[in-house]
Amino acid sequence: MSLIRLIFSALLAASASFTLPQAHAEEKLALSTSLTAPADPLTLSTARNIKLELIPEDDKAMGDLWTRIRGGFAMRDLDSPLIANHEKWYASRPDYVARMTDRARRYLYYITGEVERRGMPSEIALLPMIESAFNPGAYSTSRASGIWQFIPSTGKHFGMQQNWWYDGRRDVVSATNGALDYLQKLHDMFGDWELALAAYNWGEGAVQRAQARNRKRGLPVNYTSLRMPDETRNYVPKLLAVKNIISNPAAFGLVLQDIPNAPYFAAISTAKHIDVKLAAQLADISMEEFTALNPAHNRPVILQDNSDVILLPMDKVETFRANLEAYDKPLVSWQAYQPKKGERLDHLAPRFGLSVEKLKSVNGLSGRAQVSTGQTLLVPINGEEAETESEFAAFNMHLSPIAEERTRTLSHTVRKGETLASIARRYRVSIASLKNRNGHIRQVKAGQTLTIVQSAVRTKYSRPGKLAKRGQNKKYASGKAAKRVHVAYNKR
């Protein structure tokens, strides 16, 4: 008998659903329309967003997802010393690799299925490893967010809704589909994956201009022949280094966590608002697990208007369904409140049983922010203080700095007259480090390519809605200088 593979697809209609208890949250204060407008009862369907597909006989033995991914590798190797440099970087940081693959276990099955469905090489499924280390809360100075690191304009271009309540760039399903759609567009435009990835990182307009310059000079227009920023020059080699490590982790002294070749999550359709904390409790999972699967929600309430599905671990769907059917209390314990003229945070917070810091945290307010007339704040309906600090921290997880990678790797072509000392001074590294990173060389010659590893500039993080300066690169912790441009006309 054939096995069944569950592949989640964001636009499939629900095939079965049932009605659950209506919420009756008391209106103690003036509530916003978004929380008080009549809505249909919450519905649940494990069939929504799930496509059934028969697994070929040859795939039956693929109990491990890594084996399946290795079987789909199709990108050509590049003759670049940068690949070995990145292999060494990962190999020397087994704890970093372990954290990254632990996060990946939630999302990688879904991403792999979508990559295969589009006929892409499975290396593309590993791209979030170099974009965000599979951290759904990754957030950069240029306001790039989520495992695929979209900035706001690109997210909107690919249909990712973004507002005070919800950020679709952090929605695992929505962002994955948007990223793969864009990568396919770039591949169709440039004809190979190296150039498509360069355009994904650098911008399609930038790649086109680089090709035009080479054509004008009678030079090749392939990836290795184009002049590009160091970040983009390292982008494909870094992905190929990750591919090589996944292909043979033992060769690099690493052990990969087993990831089953089976769905990790199911998509549950919703038609009513519900507290994030309550949804996690009904599924009998931690807030950390729930927000890792549903990182797009900025507030402690899931608004049905923004997202009609939540993701739950496969083994918790029945638990959630049974507990929700039996639940006879309000599904929402928060309300929207508009401060009156002259009201201050330090006066409002005690009124609703919150500290000022918690009130700011749940509303995404900066340290010195003040409220203004007409501004909407989210406050508890019952006026009781939340049980734990972590409940509030979960909603702002994407604002936290991610300080795992403290270095950046550059390549430098030696010019006539340059020495080890002058190059070391230019990049603010030691001569010893420069020698060690380049095979313990004693001198350099013109035309030679050197690898330089710098300490990364510490990335500062801004909150959603607060405009960030677009200076350093958007990467969540890379400190690289080039900016990604993700949409047509060189805008992102």
**What pLDDT, on the 0 to 100 scale, is given for residue 307?**
66
**What pLDDT, on the 0 to 100 scale, is given for residue 50?**
35
* Cβ proximity of 333 and 381 under 8 Å: yes
| 156, 287: one domain | yes
Domain boundary among the residues 310, 330, 350 is at 330
DSSP 234-278: HHHHHHHHHHHHHH-GGGGT--PPP-BSS--EEEEE--S-EEHHH
Name the residue among 87, 484, 454 with its Cα closest to residue 247.
87
Q: Does a structural domain hold residue 33?
A: no
Domain boundary among the residues 298, 330, 362 is at 330
| 206, 296: one domain | yes
Q: Which two tokens stand for residue 369?
A: 């922010």
Q: Is 26 a catalytic residue?
A: no
| 285, 180: one domain | yes
| 433, 298: one domain | no
Domain count, the chain: 2
Which three-class secondary structure state does DSSP give residue 425?
A: helix
| 279, 420: one domain | no
Q: Does a structural domain hold residue 437?
A: yes
| Cα–Cα distances in angstroms (integers) from residue 220 to residues 83, 237, 244, in the given order | 22, 19, 27
- Active-site residue, selected from the candidate residues 131, 204, 231, 391: 131
58: Cβ contacts below 8 Å, ≥ 6 apart: none
| 306, 437: one domain | no
Task: Work out the number of other CB atoms within 10 angstroms of the CB of residue 112.
Answer: 21
Furthest C-alpha separation in the chain: 79
Q: What is the pLDDT of residues 144-169, one digit of tens each?
A: 999 999 989 988 999 999 988 899 99
Q: What is the extent of the structural domain holding 414?
A: 407-455
| 420, 325: one domain | no
**What pLDDT, on the 0 to 100 scale, is given for residue 483?**
34
> How far is 448 from 426, CA to CA, in rounded Å?
16
> How far is 266 from 14, CA to CA, in rounded Å?
12
Please name the residue that has the structure tokens 């340059």. 418
Task: Work out the number of other CB atoms within 10 angstroms of the CB of residue 137.
Answer: 21
**What pLDDT, on the 0 to 100 scale, is given for residue 354?**
78
Taking CA 144 as the corner, what is the angle to CA 362 and CA 390, rounded to the nearest 5 degrees? 25
Q: Does a structural domain hold residue 383?
A: no
> How far is 406 from 304, CA to CA, in rounded Å?
39
| 91, 199: one domain | yes
Q: Does a structural domain hold residue 395?
A: no
Assign residue 206 the CATH number of its domain.
1.10.530.10
Beta-strand pair 4-8/334-337: unpaired
Q: Does a structural domain hold residue 313?
A: yes
| 110, 223: one domain | yes
**What pLDDT, on the 0 to 100 scale, is given for residue 18?**
34
| 285, 190: one domain | yes
Assign residue 447 the CATH number of its domain.
3.10.350.10
Of the chain, the end-to-end C-alpha distance in Å amounts to 48
Q: Does a structural domain hold residue 413?
A: yes
**What pLDDT, on the 0 to 100 scale, is given for residue 212?**
98
| 195, 90: one domain | yes
DSSP 20-57: -PPP-----SPPPHHHHS--PPPEE-SSTTEEEEEPPG
Task: Work out the number of other CB atoms within 10 angstroms of the CB of residue 307.
Answer: 21
> How far is 60 from 35, CA to CA, in rounded Å?
47
> How far is 405 from 415, CA to CA, in rounded Å?
30
Domain boundary among the residues 330, 354, 385 is at 330
Q: Does a structural domain hold residue 248?
A: yes
pLDDT in tens, the chain (492 residues): 433 343 333 333 333 333 333 333 332 222 333 443 333 334 443 333 333 333 444 444 568 999 999 999 999 999 999 999 999 999 999 999 999 999 999 999 999 999 999 999 999 999 999 999 999 999 887 789 999 999 899 889 999 999 888 999 999 999 999 999 999 999 999 999 999 999 999 999 999 999 999 999 999 999 999 999 999 999 999 999 999 999 999 999 999 999 999 999 999 876 678 999 999 999 999 999 999 999 999 888 888 766 668 999 999 999 999 999 899 988 888 777 778 877 788 878 887 787 888 888 777 776 666 777 667 787 787 654 444 444 545 444 443 333 334 456 788 888 888 998 889 888 888 887 788 777 778 888 888 888 888 765 433 333 333 323 223 333 333 333 333 333 322 333
**What pLDDT, on the 0 to 100 scale, is given for residue 251?**
98
Q: What is the pLDDT of residues 344-366, one digit of tens each?
A: 888 788 877 878 888 887 777 76
Q: Does a structural domain hold residue 48?
A: yes
| 293, 414: one domain | no
